């Protein structure tokens, strides 16, 4: 049976080089179940609020960005941490 098997399909042997595209950088500060609390924290750290989920069960994510560089993301994360938002982290989308 092995002798009659079709040969494997060959993939093209062409390689294309492109510049890396890492995606957009954000600092995600926290997620709240109440919009007013998210708005308050966003104002404190200079961020904005993004609603997620269906109405009535929405959560509100506080973010800073999109940021233009890793250095800018690091600086925004440091500011957020200094403001007392210990759960802040950098996210790439």
Query: Which tens digits make up the pLDDT trace of 17-67?
Result: 887 776 899 999 999 999 999 999 999 999 999 999 998 899 999 999 999
33, HSE (Cβ side, Cα atoms, 13 Å): 2
DSSP letters for 16-54: ---------EEEEEEEESSHHHHHHHHHHHT-EEEEESS
pTM over 0.75: no
Please say if the pLDDT value at position 4 is more than 80. Answer: no
Distance CA(63)–CA(38), nearest Å, equals 10
- Specify the pLDDT at position 2: 56
- Specify the pLDDT at position 92: 93
14, HSE (Cβ side, Cα atoms, 13 Å): 2
Q: Read off the pLDDT band of 70 (50, 70, 90).
A: very high
């Amino acid at each position: 049976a092995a002798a009659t098997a079709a040969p494997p399909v060959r993939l093209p042997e062409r390689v294309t080089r492109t510049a890396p595209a890492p995606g957009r950088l954000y600092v995600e500060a926290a997620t709240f179940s109440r919009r007013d609390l998210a708005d308050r924290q966003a104002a404190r750290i200079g961020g904005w609020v993004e609603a997620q989920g269906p109405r009535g069960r929405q959560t509100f994510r506080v973010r800073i960005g999109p940021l233009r560089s890793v250095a800018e993301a690091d600086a925004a994360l440091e500011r957020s941490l200094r403001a007392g938002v210990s759960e802040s982290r950098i996210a790439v989308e």
